[in-house]
Structure 1
Amino acid sequence: MKQLLFALILSAAPALAQQAALTADDLSRLKAADVVLLGEVHDNPTHHEMQAQIVQDVAPAALVIEMLGQADATTLAANPAAFAERWAQTGWHDFQMYLPIFQAHEGPIIGAAVPRDVARATYADGVTAHFQGDAAAYGLTDALPEDQRSQRTELQFQTHCEAMPREMMGGMIEVQRLRDATLAAGVVQAVADTDGLVVVITGNGHARKDWGAPAYLARVAPDLDVITVGQGEDGVPPEGGFDIVLDAPAPDRPDPCEQFK
């Protein structure tokens, strides 16, 4: 989900030390993995520069991206530079920030987006009604632990600027679960298709280890070596747990809650 862009610290759990760039040991670790999830804050150009550099360095067999469905992803892979007009229609941030990532990759791109109409239906119907896979295997038929549901409710409430009652957050959590599981399913497909390293381009919220896509991969593909890279801003790390945490300056951006004032 495209989340409003500000940090919310929900726990006092210690975070890994943040760094501005990968070390040689980090890079070796990524190259040896089966799956690397590269988190981002969607409008931060430095985050995308880092993702492009990592993609170039590790040369994955496939990319999985949260931004597009498969038809668009196939078109993008065929000619990234020609995709700008279609990208603009999706509502995602400036294509020029993402283009170097796609140009650094030679190979298939797996689109793992949840269509907007499906996301809207999931808000009302729940995740199991719309996941295109084995919902039970992915744990989607299980109720969330109460402490996690409470934390996620508060996160959604704050992310949406406290503009809606907490009672409305349940549907948003269901959509988030669908997006995370769909990303994980895209990874499983990419690994099966290529039998090589898969890199995932996604927001920090989907890359977090505790309840993002890695949590679903741990259920359905526990033998995969999965490495998560989170990217923070101005010394504030992303929440949720990552194997490597990078830091970059935050871009100038308007107050995301101004529209609700």
Structure 2
Amino acid sequence: MTGKLLKKIVLGALLPSFAACSELSFREARLPAVPESAQIIIVGEVHDNPRHHLTQSTYIRALQPTAVAFEMLTAEQAEIANSMSDRGDALRDAINWQDSGWPSWDMYQPVFEATGNASIYGMALPRDFVRRAVSENASSVFTGDSNAFRLNSPLPESQQAAREAQQKAVHCNMLPSELLGGMVEAQRLRDASFALTALTALEQTGGPVVVITGTGHARKDWGMPAAIAAASPDTVVVSIGQLEKTPAITAVSDVTIYDHRLLADPVPREDPCQGMMR
């Protein structure tokens, strides 16, 4: 029995399965098991929550994936990471993390150090691609097969409305209504592009592939899992959504948006909407 297989069996034996408990707290210090058949495991995060990154590092160490794909890295930064054996402070400096706009390296360092010998893939898109998706549409910018990822098809009306409402809320109700559709197109572009990178990593390395991204992209109904299912329906995807314990989140009983939903205590942060109103 290989060490990799043994670790997966131990993880499954010690940690409760999704069927037994679909929602767990970090206070229990236990995580849902991932089935042996999983090929792409998407572990979402609230970007500035350190607990989420510790959980991501735990999954990577347990699963020993052949590849780890990061929303936070460009393809060029991933190439630098793959050329280095040190994935600590030396990597931070080499990829110029301090100017990346992402939260403190101290939060992400455990995730990078857990990657070991896994190949690293960067999923970040050029900003001009995202801007063009807003002003044009996702399919006109996407570098893959738009038909395969269903970017040429309009969203169901109910989903379009829900996604526009979400974009309005996360932008503090300050976006002009005419921009909301474009913001949804930008998210469609990101989800399809991230899915394409994950599928490429799976094809090139054999898998499993762990994806590190925001929890919104881990949604099964319209995030990366949906994009992967459209382009490669036989690929086995597991979605782990990490959220924070807020009244709005804990009041929601439907946990089917993710295969597993994990709740952590929220971290203190300034209300971003207050900052926009100053």
Alignment-derived partner of residue 77 in structure 2: 72
> Can you list the C-alpha shifts for 1:193-236, whole angstroms capped at 9, x where unaligned?
01120000000110110000100111111111111101121252
For residues 152 and 226 of structure 1, what CA distance do their matches in structure 2 show?
23
Contact persistence 2:24–2:30 (CA under 8 A): no
- Which residue pairs with 2:66 in the alignment? 61
**8 Å Cα contact 2:69/2:120 also seen in 1:** yes
Deviates more, 1:73-82 or 1:175-184: 73-82
Give the match for residue 12 of structure 1: none
Question: Of 237, 252, 255, which residue of structure 1 is paired with 2:271?
Answer: 255
Give the whole-Å Cα distance in 2 for the aligned partners of 1:147 and 1:240: 18
Q: Secondary structure at the match of 1:199?
A: strand
Counterparts of 1:29-178 in structure 2, within 5 Å, are 29-77=34-82, 78=84, 79-81=86-88, 82-85=90-93, 86-105=96-115, 106-178=117-189
Q: Which residue in 2 is equivalent to 1:221?
A: 232
Paired-residue identity, % = 38
User: Cα distance, 1:121 vs. partner?
Assistant: 1.7
Question: Given residue 107 of structure 1, which amino acid in structure 2 is its aligned partner?
Answer: A
Unpaired runs of at least 5, structure 1: 1-14
For 2:13, the equivalent position in structure 1 comes to none
Q: Secondary structure at the match of 2:68?
A: strand
Matched residue type, 1:121:
R
2:197 is the counterpart of 1:186: yes
What SS does the corresponding residue of 2:163 show, helix, strand or coil?
helix
Contact residue 41 and residue 204 of structure 1 kept, 8 A: yes
Q: Give the distance between the partners of 1:52 and 1:151, measured in 2 at CA.
A: 32
Question: Match of 2:272, SS?
Answer: coil
Structure 1 runs (4+) deviating above 3 angstroms are 21-24, 237-240
Match of 1:244 among 251, 254, 260: 260
1:142 and 1:176 mapped to 2: Cα distance? 15
TM-score, normalised to structure 1, is: 0.88
Once residues 177 and 97 of structure 2 are traced to their aligned partners in structure 1, the CA distance between those partners, rounded to angstroms, is 33
CA-based RMSD of the aligned residues comes to 1.9
Are the equivalent residues in 2 in contact too, given 1:19–1:245 (CA < 8 A)? no
Identify if the C-alpha distance between structure 1 residues 22 and 182 changes in structure 2 by more than 3 Å, giving closer, same or farther. Answer: farther
TM-score where L is the length of structure 2: 0.83
Contact 2:219–2:257 at 8 Å: present in 1 too?
yes
- Deviation (angstroms), 1:30: 4.3
Gaps spanning 5+ residues in structure 2: where? 1-20
Distance 2:256 2:36 in 1: 23
Deviation at 1:76, TM superposition (A): 2.2
Q: 1:240 offset after TM fit, Å?
A: 7.1
Question: What is the match of residue 7 of structure 1?
Answer: none
Count matched residues.
245
Corresponding letter in the other structure for 2:114: A
In structure 2, do the counterparts of structure 1 residues 149 and 198 end up closer, same or farther at CA, with 3 Å as the change threshold? Answer: same
Match of 1:39, SS? strand
Is the Cα contact below 8 Å between 1:211 and 1:240 reproduced in 2?
no
Cα offset, 1:19, TM superposition: 3.1
Q: Is the 8 A contact 1:30 1:58 kept in 2?
A: no
Tell me the alpha carbon deviations over residues 32-78 of structure 1, each in whole angstroms, 9 at most, x when there is no partner.
41110001000000000110111111111101111111110121232
